[in-house]
């Protein structure tokens, strides 16, 4: 058994998972975290419902990640294993609407975290708070603690410092320039699971929801709910499109199907009677007030042309201008490039230094897929170290 300490930087879900697996195998593990508490972003993720993974066959589950390496890693420690792990911590789960997996109502996010930290304590994992990573070399990691610079010897170093959104949770991406200076390839961080800024003609709809609609971008489609904001649109179907729109120059156009259960021909047939358009939209097509308000943003001629209106109800164009600023979005794309890592997520140029979690260059939609990949990559690197 290796008695040299394994040092993990970052007490988020990816780092803590690596710590747990290594400690269970008898390794001495020390975690260093710049905050005064662990896993602040993990707790923030629980604010709107603590969606820890997703109930889905693994074949379609892994398609949520473009990065092949992450697909393989998630397959090895999959959604079922996350549920088992939670169960071992005493946390029961249930499948919520649209397949999201949550802890049962008796467990708040803080209870889940506490159960996990208690388990880590039993395994003798020490978490040193108030320690900020500064740099590393072949055998030492340099940290700042209460204004003083210190160094700690490592046998293996796991970097688990997260992405760059929600800086106030500690994920401030200050590691980017440090790693770049070492010629480690970093794909620039970009907003992911982000709303879009839109044309100002939609801003008057601020606060209004469109439910049960289909958002499309080219051949990609996602059903769900969106909300108009003072700057544009938010909601999981638009977040889903981030990965595809990222490959194009803005502005790009998303399309919304406002009446999924009727074809364009059926809609046109309803509009062709003598009844006023506004009455058909409301009474016959049963469109929501928001959908009708959206159609009213069309110019008069387009609104009154029923052929065009039927088409537009099935394919309403929303031109989007940009992603929202990084700090306010749920996650970031980009990070340590796979080209800088070997098959064990170890830096090619720095033996014994591994990366896990959101700081690596992958992205995924919300719905539990982000946390799943963070857990899975923590397990993967820990096992790679155990087997090395
Ligand atoms: C509002 C919101 C909602 C979310 N909802 C969901 C959801 O529903 N489902 C889902 O799957 N995911 C969700 N996520 C995303 C998920 O929380 C993250 O993907 C996940 O926490 C990333 O884990 P990580 O361990 O890689 O990094 P992080 O959780 O970011 O942890 C990194 C840790 O490293 C520490 N650190 C950073 N730099 C240093 C340094 N220089 N020195 C020392 N320590 C450092 C940080 O303080 C932090 O504690 C949400 C995120 C947000 C913000």
Q: Which domains, and CATH codes, for the chain?
A: 6-191+327-386 (3.50.50.60), 196-323 (no CATH)
Pocket flag, ligand 1, residue 109 (CB < 6 Å): no
Tokens 């009708």 found at: 292
Q: Is 357 a pocket residue for ligand 1 (Cβ < 6 Å)?
A: yes
Ligand 1 pocket mutation pick from 54, 331, 335 by most atoms within 8 angstroms of CB:
331
- What integer pLDDT is reported at residue 3 of this predicted model? 58
* Bridge partners, residue 216, by sequence: 221, 255
Phi, then psi, of 384 in degrees rounded to 5: -60, -40
Q: Write phi, then psi, for 135 (nearest 5 degrees).
A: -175, 175
Q: Is 375 in the pocket of ligand 1 (CB under 6 A)?
A: no
Ligand 1 lined by 45 (C-beta under 6 Å) = yes
Calculate how far, in angstroms, residue 166's C-alpha sits from the geometric centre of ligand 1: 8
CB 362 within 8 A of CB 66: yes
Low-confidence ranges of the chain (pLDDT < 70): 1-3
145 forms beta bridges with 131, 148
Classified as helix, coil or strand, 58 is helix
Which pLDDT belongs to residue 248?
97
The reply to whether ligand 1 has any atom less than 6 angstroms from the CB of 46 is: no
The response to whether residue 34 sits with its C-beta less than 6 Å from ligand 1 reads yes
Query: For atom 35 of ligand 1, which residue has the closest CA?
Result: 10
CA-closest candidate to residue 329, choices 363, 293, 305: 363
Matching residue, tokens 């170290």: 385
pLDDT at position 48 is 79
Eight-class DSSP state of 341: B
Whether the CB of 170 sits within 6 Å of ligand 1: yes
Q: Please, are residues 310 and 285 in contact by the beta-carbon 8 Å criterion?
A: no
């Amino acid at each position: 058994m290796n008695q040299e300490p394994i040092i993990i930087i970052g007490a988020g879900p990816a780092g803590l998972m690596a710590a747990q697996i290594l400690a269970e195998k008898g390794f001495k593990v020390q975690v260093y975290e710049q905050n005064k508490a662990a896993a602040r972003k993990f707790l923030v993720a629980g604010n709107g419902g603590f969606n820890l993974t997703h109930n889905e066959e693994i074949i379609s589950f892994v398609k949520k990640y473009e990065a092949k390496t992450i697909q393989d890693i998630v397959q090895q420690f999959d959604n079922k294993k996350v549920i088992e792990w939670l169960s071992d911590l005493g946390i029961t789960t249930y499948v919520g609407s649209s397949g999201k997996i949550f802890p049962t109502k008796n467990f708040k996010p803080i209870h889940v975290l506490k159960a996990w930290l208690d388990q880590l304590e039993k395994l003798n994992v020490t978490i040193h708070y108030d320690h900020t990573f500064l740099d590393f070399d072949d055998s030492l990691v340099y940290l700042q603690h209460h204004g003083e610079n210190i160094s700690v010897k490592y046998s293996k170093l796991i970097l688990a410092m997260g992405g760059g959104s929600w800086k106030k949770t500690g994920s401030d991406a200050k590691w980017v320039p440090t790693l770049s200076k070492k010629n480690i390839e970093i794909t620039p961080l970009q907003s992911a699971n982000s709303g879009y800024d839109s044309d100002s003609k939609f801003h008057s709809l601020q606060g209004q929801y469109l439910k049960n609609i289909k958002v499309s971008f080219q051949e990609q489609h996602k059903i769900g709910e969106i909300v108009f904001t003072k700057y544009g649109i938010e909601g999981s179907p638009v977040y889903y499109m981030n990965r595809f729109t990222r490959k194009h120059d803005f502005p790009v156009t998303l399309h919304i199907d406002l009446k999924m259960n009727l074809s364009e021909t059926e809609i046109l047939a309803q509009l062709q009677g003598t009844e006023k358009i506004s009455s058909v939209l409301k009474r016959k097509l049963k469109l929501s007030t928001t959908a009708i308000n959206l159609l009213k943003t069309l110019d008069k001629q387009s609104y009154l042309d029923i052929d065009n209106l039927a088409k537009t109800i099935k394919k309403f164009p929303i031109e989007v201008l940009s992603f929202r600023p990084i700090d306010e979005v749920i996650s970031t794309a980009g990070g340590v490039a796979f080209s800088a890592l070997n098959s064990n997520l170890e830096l090619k140029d720095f033996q014994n230094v591994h990366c896990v979690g959101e700081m690596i260059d992958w992205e995924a939609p919300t719905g539990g897929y982000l946390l799943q990949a963070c857990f899975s990559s923590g397990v993967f690197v820990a096992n790679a170290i155990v087997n090395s």
